Amino acid sequence: MINKLENLANEILLIILSYIPWFQIIESFWSLNKRLNSLIYLKTLMNNNGIIIHKRFLSFNRYHSIMTSKICDLLSFFSCIEWMDIDGNHSNYDDIICQWIFHREILYFVNLKKLILRECYLTEKSLKNLSLLIQYQLDELILIFDKNIFALFCYGARILRKRFNREYKLMLMFQEFVRRLFSDKCQLTSLELDLSTDFFNVNIHKCFSTITNKPVTHCMGLRYLHIHLIYGFLFEHLIEHVPNLEILSVQFKNALLWKNSLDSDTTTFIPTNVNWCNKIPKLKYFSLKSAINSHLQFDYLKWILNNINYIDKLKVDLYIKYLMDFINVIDANFLRRYCIPDILTNLIYFDFYIIFKCRLLFSNDIQKIIDSFKTDDFFSDHHWTNIKCFFDPILSCQHISSTTIIKSKFFHGVM
């Protein structure tokens, strides 16, 4: 007998399914009949063969019993899943990856290529499983950590005398996992990694620089890297391990720092004559987002840009504050001096968005700023004169940006 639910059109059933968490869909509708199975397949196809787990769902014991009871029927469905997006705030991430994606070291999702983990809280077992995934299975990984994991590492670092302390062991495993991401043990082509919650600098930012007796290994497959950091020295170490990188996007947590200011009394950045063309020769696109609040940070920014002066596309996103002692406004002359490499060879696109806390700007000041790009030979020769500029009187900020559009499937969502 057909019930009232099955009298509904497929379009209405798909709308209903869109409001139900994935595990509850499997529990309530999977294997009831071929029509509902096909609709669940179709819903997955509409998500580009992916699963999104962003809502609170059943207890682990409950969904584990569901999965094990229906595992034989679900194997064909698992094979169509190509990506997963899991929010650790609303799901037991560790149970999912350890007991569901892997079950007794067997990978259910044989075609899984992309994994997104948000606010994840890692354990020893999940780190081992993630290490297997990046080495043998995944092409893309987006990893955003729960900030509490770094607080736990900080606690473990304070009690190093207890060599077998659980927190300390987990910190060492995490350091090893980060190194593995940029080694020959990783087959990823795309990686987004957020280390910006490492507030205590508990050796995570130093885990590459502390290796002295191990050979340098490379992640030869990585093409796209977006990384969110606190200190620049980790960023400088990472490029030693990704020679085939084509797209690099770097975002700094608060300000553009190349090292922990507590480690040194140095007040002057001394640039070295290093060009990264020999380290990452295939780099085509570079994007940097940061706050700037000192002359020193401008020197570091310029040094970075001069090291990648061979790229095709450049994007700079800055928030400049408390520097009115040597900057009046952001105009063409300022960008040439601080935000563009001194020598350009291949640059085609230059995008920027800059916010600057400054004095009051009037309409004639805004027009002079826009005109500075039209009269500047460098910008006019490159056809980079389509500029937008306005003044926010509430926050006393100048906003200035280019309107160049960089088109690529990789660039969407880089910043």
In a domain, 325, yes or no: yes
Q: pLDDT category, 1, cuts 50, 70, 90?
A: very low
In a domain, 182, yes or no: no
Express each pLDDT in 194-245 by its tens digit: 888 765 544 666 666 554 456 668 899 999 999 998 878 788 888 889 999 9
The strand pair at 313-320 and 285-292 is best described as parallel
- Tell me whether residue 409 is exposed, middle or buried, using C-beta atoms within 10 angstroms of its C-beta: 0 to 12, 13 to 18, 19 or more: exposed
Q: Which domain holds residue 11?
A: 1-84
Please state, in angstroms and rounded to a whole number, the distance separating the CA atoms of residues 18 and 55: 12
Q: What's the confidence (pLDDT) of residue 388?
A: 94
Given 62, 84, 106, the domain boundary residue is 84
* Exposure on the CB side of residue 34, measured as CA atoms within 13 A: 0
Express each pLDDT in 287-342 by its tens digit: 999 999 888 889 899 999 999 999 999 999 999 987 877 888 999 999 999 999 99
Express each pLDDT in 369-401 by its tens digit: 999 999 999 999 988 999 999 999 999 999 999
Write out the two tokens for 92. Answer: 């037991």
Write out the two tokens for 215. Answer: 């050979």
In a domain, 352, yes or no: yes
pTM: 0.82
User: What average pLDDT does this structure show over 29-33?
Assistant: 78
Amino acid letter, residue 15: I
Amino acid letter, residue 120: C
Which residues, including other chains, have CB under 8 Å from residue 394's CB and lie 6 or more apart? none
What is the chain's length? 415
In a domain, 220, yes or no: no
Q: What's the confidence (pLDDT) of residue 67?
A: 60
In a domain, 324, yes or no: yes
In a domain, 110, yes or no: no
Which residues, including other chains, have CB under 8 Å from residue 20's CB and lie 6 or more apart? 28
Total number of domains constituting the chain: 2
Radius of gyration over alpha carbons of the chain, in Å?
25
What are the helix (H) ranges across 83-123?
93-95
Q: What's the confidence (pLDDT) of residue 85?
A: 86
Express each pLDDT in 86-130 by its tens digit: 877 655 556 666 666 766 666 778 889 999 988 777 778 888 888
146 Rama sector, left if φ>0, alpha if ψ -120 to 50, beta otherwise = beta
Report phi then psi at 136, rounded to 5. Answer: -125, -15
In a domain, 102, yes or no: no
Residue 131 is inside which H or E element, if any? helix 124-136
Given 38, 53, 84, the domain boundary residue is 84
Neighbour-count burial for 382-396, b at 16+ CB within 10 Å, e otherwise: eebbebebebeeeee
DSSP state of 11: H
Please state, in angstroms and rounded to a whole number, the distance separating the CA atoms of residues 180 and 37: 39
What DSSP string describes 268-334? S-------GGGTSTT--EEEEEEEE-SHHHHHHHHHHHHHTTT-SEEEEEEEE-S-TTT-S---HHH
Three-class secondary structure of residue 221 per DSSP = coil
User: What average pLDDT does this structure show over 43-68?
Assistant: 67
In a domain, 13, yes or no: yes
Given 49, 84, 119, the domain boundary residue is 84
What DSSP string describes 149-218? HHHHHHHHHHTTTSTT-HHHHHHHHHHHHHHHHTSTT---SEEEEE-TT-TT--SSTTTTTT--SS----
